Chain A
Amino acid sequence: MPEKLVITGNFAAAYACKSANVDVVAAYPITPQSPVVEKISEFVESGEMPDTQFICVESEHSAMAACVGAAEAGARVFTASSANGLALMFELLCWCAGARLPAVVCIASRALGAPWTVWTDHQDAISMRDTGFMHQFCETNQEIYDSVLMAYRIAEDPRVFLPMFVTYDGYLLSHTMMPVQIEDPEKVRDFLPPLKTHVDVGELGETRSVSAVIPPDITVRPEGNTPGYMEYRYAMQKAHEYAIDVIEEVNREFKVKFGRSYGNGIYTSYKIEDADILIFGIGSVASQSRMAVDQLRSEGIKAGLISLKLFRPFPVKHLREIFTRVPLVVVFDRDVAYGYEGVLAYELKAALYPCQNRPIIRSYIVGLGGRNIPTDTLTKAVKRAIKEKDDSSVQLDPHTDFLDLDLDRLGLSIEDMQKEAQ
């Protein structure tokens, strides 16, 4: 029977694992992800997840190593992490994707140390960008539950065979209770049949071989030539490029089956029909931007929002379609590509560069290390972007804008600097 529970985002992820009847869970606790693992271990302990092996490990690195090993042997695997723990996993995340293993990994996002912190931003998740994982962001606890189920369907599709991250903001979702519909196990099984692995353990040793170390070029063998490193990576990139079709398809199917969907599976939109300014953001930033859109509209500014759900593969085609409709886009990043600018901002700019009608794109950094993002901050930034839209010196300025810094209260205002200089 489906049931509606009032649970945190972490528990929503744990319930999704239960519904997905995951074979192997290996995880190491870190704030704010810990309750995911605690809940799953409770399920396993109480016999509610009778088919699941829970492996206690000594680090995130080992957690992912255990998942990789289990996935190689054909298991449906799950782990979750945050921030520095996630960073420790990095090596094995790359391995998981390179080996084309359909793992699902949840990220309860949190700022990376140093300086040490436990509050949310998107730096940890975004920093995992080039591992080869696909990557979804969530805005509600229901979306976490649903996204994990969809992530397995997408990852395990033979057309894809790539692992996927499901990211949700630490605390804002991970520790906040919301009603979540937990679906009937039979129905979930229908949507997500047991994994038919692409690795047949019984055939190991008989399959065409691959070198322990992959040379740059293909290897000539009597039993058939084997790929070089570049052929493997080409296949992985192509799997990413064409995964977008599968992701849209799965989103549609999920809607038919469970009555819920998240935009087109790529992004969700808010009041974009008549908008001439679009805000672009992910996760908590997008949620807050909905309120900013309402406030701007009450002041007569026709703003709209695109909340990016699918960060990888980066949906270039979809973003071009939507963002070339408006003359101005404001991007709020809760992350920085240090030494450059907000990641969403520059990726959007790159995506739109070849387009005829590319908009002016203004980017701001907000909410690092859990700093609150008041609606006012966002609306003010949008208004500033409108005012400076035709000012080319602003558009050409290579420096980033951080919103809501509080340097004056540190005694570090411009006046303080001038005083010091005298």
Chain B
Amino acid sequence: MTPRNEQYERWIAQKILAARQTTTIGEAGKTGTWRTIRPVLIPEKCLVVKSGKPTCHKCWLYCPEATVSRSIPPVFDYDYCKGCGICATECPTEAIQMVPEKEAPSCAETIANAGGNADA
């Protein structure tokens, strides 16, 4: 055992701070497989699409999974979107529709990519 080094312990106390660090994509695995409904953008209703400016982006701000991009148009990352529907609820113009996963075209593909089985 190395002897206790006070200076070192003080340094460590300041060095490892949970609040200082953030998550990266995919920390909790492909959470997209948890989804039963998915957000689909209706571009004609979306404020940033209509204005061509990064104005609203409430979907980006409120998504708890950070899976909506701050782009024009906002894009959903279906690999990690859990389908909670918060973006759709927060959208001031109802530009996001929650569509049952089985009806959405790329569903089987997403799940297969994540190593799951859409029919299971």
Which residues of B sit under 8 angstroms from A204, Cβ to Cβ? 22
Q: Which of B23-31, B49-57, B102-110 contacts A (4 or more CB under 8 A)?
A: B23-31
A209 touching B14 in the complex, CB below 8 Å, given contacts A241-B9, A242-B9: no
A231 touching B17 in the complex, CB below 8 Å, given contacts A210-B22, A238-B10: no
Which residues of B sit under 8 angstroms from A159, Cβ to Cβ? 10, 13-14
A210-245 interface bits toward B, Cβ cutoff 8 Å, 1 = contact, 0 = none = 111100000000000011000110111011011000
Which residues of A sit under 8 angstroms from B15, Cβ to Cβ? 235
Q: In this assembly, does A320 line the interface, its C-beta being within 8 Å of a C-beta of chain B?
A: no
Partner of B20, one of A207, A213, A238: A207
> What is the chain B residue whose CB lies nearest that of A159?
B14
Chain B nearest CB: distance from A126 CB in Å?
25
Chain A nearest CB: distance from B30 CB in Å?
13
Partner of A212, one of B6, B19, B20, B23: B23
Q: Which of A31-39, A56-64, A97-105, A386-394 contacts B (4 or more CB under 8 A)?
A: A97-105
Q: In this assembly, does A205 line the interface, its C-beta being within 8 Å of a C-beta of chain B?
A: yes
Partner of B14, one of A158, A211, A227, A241: A158
Partner of B12, one of A199, A209, A234: A234
Question: With A and B bound together, what is the CA distance between A234 and B10 in angstroms?
Answer: 11
Partner of A208, one of B9, B12, B21: B21
Report whether B22 and A239 are in contact in the complex, using a CB–CB cutoff of 8 Å. no
Report whether A239 and B19 are in contact in the complex, using a CB–CB cutoff of 8 Å. no
Q: In this assembly, does B18 line the interface, its C-beta being within 8 Å of a C-beta of chain A?
A: yes
Question: Considering the complex, which residues of chain B in the window 38-57 have a beta carbon less than 8 Å from any beta carbon of chain A?
Answer: none
Which residues of B sit under 8 angstroms from A235, Cβ to Cβ? 12-17
Which residues of B sit under 8 angstroms from A239, Cβ to Cβ? 13-14
Partner of A209, one of B6, B19, B23: B23
Which residues of A sit under 8 angstroms from B17, Cβ to Cβ? 99-100, 161, 198, 235
Q: In this assembly, does A121 line the interface, its C-beta being within 8 Å of a C-beta of chain B?
A: no
Report whether B10 and A231 are in contact in the complex, using a CB–CB cutoff of 8 Å. no
Q: In this assembly, does A139 line the interface, its C-beta being within 8 Å of a C-beta of chain B?
A: no
> What is the chain B residue whose CB lies nearest that of A204?
B22
Q: In this assembly, does A23 line the interface, its C-beta being within 8 Å of a C-beta of chain B?
A: no
Which residues of B sit under 8 angstroms from A213, Cβ to Cβ? 27-28
Question: With A and B bound together, what is the CA distance between A105 and B87 in angstroms?
Answer: 33
How many chain B residues touch A (CB < 8 A): the figure is: 18
Report whether B20 and A242 are in contact in the complex, using a CB–CB cutoff of 8 Å. no
Report whether B22 and A161 are in contact in the complex, using a CB–CB cutoff of 8 Å. no
How many chain A residues touch B (CB < 8 A): the figure is: 31
Which residues of B sit under 8 angstroms from A211, Cβ to Cβ? 23, 27-28
A39-80 interface bits toward B, Cβ cutoff 8 Å, 1 = contact, 0 = none = 000000000000000000000000000000001100000000
Which residues of B sit under 8 angstroms from A101, Cβ to Cβ? 19
Chain A nearest CB: distance from B68 CB in Å?
14
Chain B nearest CB: distance from A283 CB in Å?
29
Question: With A and B bound together, what is the CA distance between A211 and B26 in angstroms?
Answer: 9
Which residues of A sit under 8 angstroms from B27, Cβ to Cβ? 209, 211-213
> What is the chain B residue whose CB lies nearest that of A74?
B19
Chain A nearest CB: distance from B91 CB in Å?
22
Which residues of B sit under 8 angstroms from A209, Cβ to Cβ? 21-24, 27
Chain A nearest CB: distance from B29 CB in Å?
9
Report whether B9 and A238 are in contact in the complex, using a CB–CB cutoff of 8 Å. yes
Chain B nearest CB: distance from A145 CB in Å?
28
Question: With A and B bound together, what is the CA distance between A61 and B113 in angstroms?
Answer: 39
Report whether A199 and B19 are in contact in the complex, using a CB–CB cutoff of 8 Å. yes
Q: Which of B6, B12, B14, B27 has the most CB of A within 10 A?
A: B14
Question: With A and B bound together, what is the CA distance between A227 and B17 in angstroms?
Answer: 10
Report whether B21 and A205 are in contact in the complex, using a CB–CB cutoff of 8 Å. no
> What is the chain A residue whose CB lies nearest that of B25?
A209
Report whether A205 and B22 are in contact in the complex, using a CB–CB cutoff of 8 Å. yes
Question: With A and B bound together, what is the CA distance between A232 and B17 in angstroms?
Answer: 7
Report whether B21 and A207 are in contact in the complex, using a CB–CB cutoff of 8 Å. yes
Question: With A and B bound together, what is the CA distance between A212 and B12 in angstroms?
Answer: 22
Q: Which of A198, A231, A236, A238 has the most CB of B within 10 A?
A: A238
List, sorted by A's number, 30 A–B pairs whose CB atoms are closer than 8 Å. Answer: A98-B18, A99-B17, A99-B19, A100-B17, A100-B18, A100-B19, A101-B19, A159-B10, A159-B13, A161-B14, A198-B19, A199-B20, A204-B22, A207-B22, A209-B21, A209-B22, A209-B23, A210-B22, A212-B27, A212-B28, A231-B16, A232-B18, A234-B12, A235-B14, A235-B15, A238-B10, A239-B13, A241-B9, A241-B13, A242-B9
Closest 9 CB pairs of A and B: A235-B16, A210-B21, A238-B13, A209-B24, A239-B13, A212-B27, A99-B19, A212-B28, A100-B17
Chain B positions near chain A (C-beta within 8 angstroms): 6, 9-10, 12-24, 27-28
Chain A positions near chain B (C-beta within 8 angstroms): 71-72, 98-101, 158-159, 161, 198-199, 204-205, 207-213, 226-227, 231-232, 234-236, 238-239, 241-242
